[in-house]
Amino acid sequence: METNQPILEIRDLHARIEGKEILRGIDLVIRPGEVHAIMGPNGSGKSTLAQVLAGRDLYEVTRGEVLYRGRDLLALSPEERAREGIFLAFQYPVEIPGVTNLYFLKTALNAVRKHRGLPEMDAMEFMKLVREKLALVEMDEAFLRRAVNEGFSGGEKKRNEILQMAVLDPVLAILDETDSGLDIDALRVVANGVNRLRRPDRAMLLVTHYQRLLDYIVPDRVHVLAGGRIVRSGDRRLALELEEKGYGWLHEAGTPGA
């Protein structure tokens, strides 16, 4: 088994939306077990990168390639990516009236299981699994009967994302500003859930504006994104440096495109 094959390899990735170039040559390699953090000021392209990896067709990839476990990721539809093990925890999870959380989770899990050649879960097995995962994010079972994200508070929405992640058991989890809008207690719950999902065969990419999240989820690598490129990479001390100096110095340093 090629344990050291990267889970994600991004090479010279360029992407644009409505003619405007947002990503201008991203290079990034994430190996199994690693947690990487992408930090950067607003508008630097962090969320775009997350969305492009999940397959959002609003964005057009104009150059470069992305390999996921050695395969061309960009050739896959969003649902194929999810079934292959990519999970995006959204910054702003959408509300879906009329579809219960329970039904949504079960449909998603069975779609993923079917792709992996596993039988559909029956109601009993499924409930057992979901109860276990609910505990992970300290959510009440009553959430399952509510419509997906409808009327959820910001913290509930983020916890619901982590619940879905736990149920779908991804290989690569991309967390887009999962810390935004959370108070300190909610942040702790969400971070705990994420930490307990860290595994040697799983990789995570945390997209965040603030280093606060990284006090709770300690990354192996930190990258600074500015003007659509990674301008610095380092270990977690880089995040602390950013916390201290802010993002202003990036512009002063004459970052291309900033």
Partner 1 sequence: MTTGIAETIPAGWKALVDRHRELLATGPAFLRELRRAAWTRFEERGLPGRREEDWREIDLRPLAALSPVPAAPRASRVSPDILDHPAVARPAPPRFVLAGGRLREDLSAAHPLPAGLQVLTIEEAARAWPDLLATHLGRYAPAENPFVALNTALAEEGLVVRVAAGTDVDVPLHLVHVAPAGDRDVACHPRVLVLVETGARVALVESFLAREEAGGLVNGVTELLVGPGARVTHARVQHEAPGIHHVAHVAARVEAGGSLRSLSLALGGPLVRVGIDVRLAGEEAETSLDGLYLAGSGQVVDHRTAILHDVPRCASHQLYKGLLAGDGRAVFRGRIVVAPGAQQTDAHQQNRNLLLSRQALVRTRPQLEIYADDVRATHGATVGQLDDEMLFYFRSRGIGLAEARHLLLAAFTGEILERVPGAPLAGLLRDLVRDRLARELPAGEDAR
Contacting positions for partner 1 (CB under 8 A): 54-58, 77-79, 81-83, 87-88, 90, 93-94, 96-99, 103-104, 107-108, 111-112, 115, 148, 164, 168
203-208 and 8-17: which strand pairing?
Answer: unpaired
Number of H helices, E strands in the chain: 9, 12
Q: Which is nearer to partner 1, 72 or 185 (CB)?
A: 72
Q: Which is nearer to partner 1, 167 or 238 (CB)?
A: 167
**In this structure, are residues 224 and 238 in contact, taking their beta carbons and an 8 Å threshold?**
yes
Count of Cβ atoms closer than 10 Å to residue 43 Cβ: 13
- Shortest CB 164 distance to partner 1, Å: 6
- Shortest CB 12 distance to partner 1, Å: 25
Q: Which is nearer to partner 1, 40 or 85 (CB)?
A: 85
What is the Cα–Cα distance from 228 to 46, expressed in whole angstroms? 8
- Shortest CB 246 distance to partner 1, Å: 32
Q: Which is nearer to partner 1, 41 or 170 (CB)?
A: 170
- Shortest CB 157 distance to partner 1, Å: 12
Tokens at residue 128, please?
């057992």
Question: What residue type is 183 in one-letter code?
Answer: D
What is the Cα–Cα distance from 110 to 44, expressed in whole angstroms? 36
